[in-house]
């Protein structure tokens, strides 16, 4: 009987340990994504200070690596989606605290971070890819219209480039169009799969909602 009770207690402890491990993994993923973005923006600041150009191929701006697919698979698609959307909504809302000229670059970093958090799961790979493309598109908009006379705005651990005032309205229109296009692509990516429809629809809606930050 003692052996039976010990065995049951051991099984319960193993399950509890597994649940704790999943939560720790999510916290680690968010930390890595922030660190990658911080590293990238630090590289941008150094390049700008030395008179260098900010290329779209720069690892600091667009080189966000996904997480370990074997590790991330410990959690369900729903759990990942819930965690990622909370981060996306929270970080996008913070972009609204900045002046309008800095918000496009702020959202660019938010989408890159979100793509990194989605990792390399097969069921969410298309979403991650579309968000990376969106981040790159916003990066191009900022680069073409950048105001180098205006200092970057610091928000948390990131630095956000400014767009020229006289080009801001057109830049915002282009950014909003890119956001809407990405949301549409995400909805289409779900296809006829029931498993993909729910997370992709939720991600698409969250992405599309960020355009209000550029309109306020």
| Nearest residue to 160 (alpha-carbon basis) of 61, 84, 93 | 61
52 contacts 58 by C-beta, under 8 angstroms: no
Number of Cβ within a 10 Å radius of residue 28:
12
Please give the DSSP secondary-structure letter assigned to residue 159: E
Distance CA 128, CA 185 (A): 12
Ordered by start, the domain boundaries in the chain are 2-215
Residues of the chain with pLDDT under 70: 1-75
Using one digit for the tens of pLDDT, what is the confidence trace for 40-87?
444 444 434 343 333 333 333 333 333 343 344 445 778 888 999 999
Distance CA 117, CA 99 (A): 27
């Amino acid at each position: 009987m003692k052996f039976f009770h010990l065995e049951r207690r051991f099984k319960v402890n193993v399950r509890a340990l597994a649940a704790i491990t999943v939560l720790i993994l999510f916290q680690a993923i968010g930390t890595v994504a922030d660190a990658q973005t911080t590293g990238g923006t630090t590289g941008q600041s150094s390049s700008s200070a030395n008179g260098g150009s900010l290329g779209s191929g720069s690892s600091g701006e667009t080189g966000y690596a996904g997480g370990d697919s074997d590790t991330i698979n410990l959690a369900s698609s729903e759990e990942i989606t819930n965690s990622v959307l909370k981060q996306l909504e929270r970080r996008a809302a913070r972009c609204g605290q900045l002046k309008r000229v800095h918000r496009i670059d702020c959202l660019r970093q938010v989408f890159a971070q979100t793509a990194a958090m989605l990792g390399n799961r097969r069921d969410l790979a298309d979403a991650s890819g579309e968000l990376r493309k969106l981040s790159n598109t916003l990066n191009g908009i900022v680069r073409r219209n950048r105001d180098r006379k205006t200092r970057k705005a610091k928000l948390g651990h990131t630095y956000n480039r400014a767009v020229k005032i006289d080009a801001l309205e057109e830049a915002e229109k282009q950014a909003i169009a890119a956001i809407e296009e990405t949301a549409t692509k995400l909805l289409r990516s779900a296809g006829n799969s029931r498993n993909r429809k729910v997370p992709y629809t939720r991600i698409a809606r969250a992405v599309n909602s960020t355009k209000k930050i550029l309109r306020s």
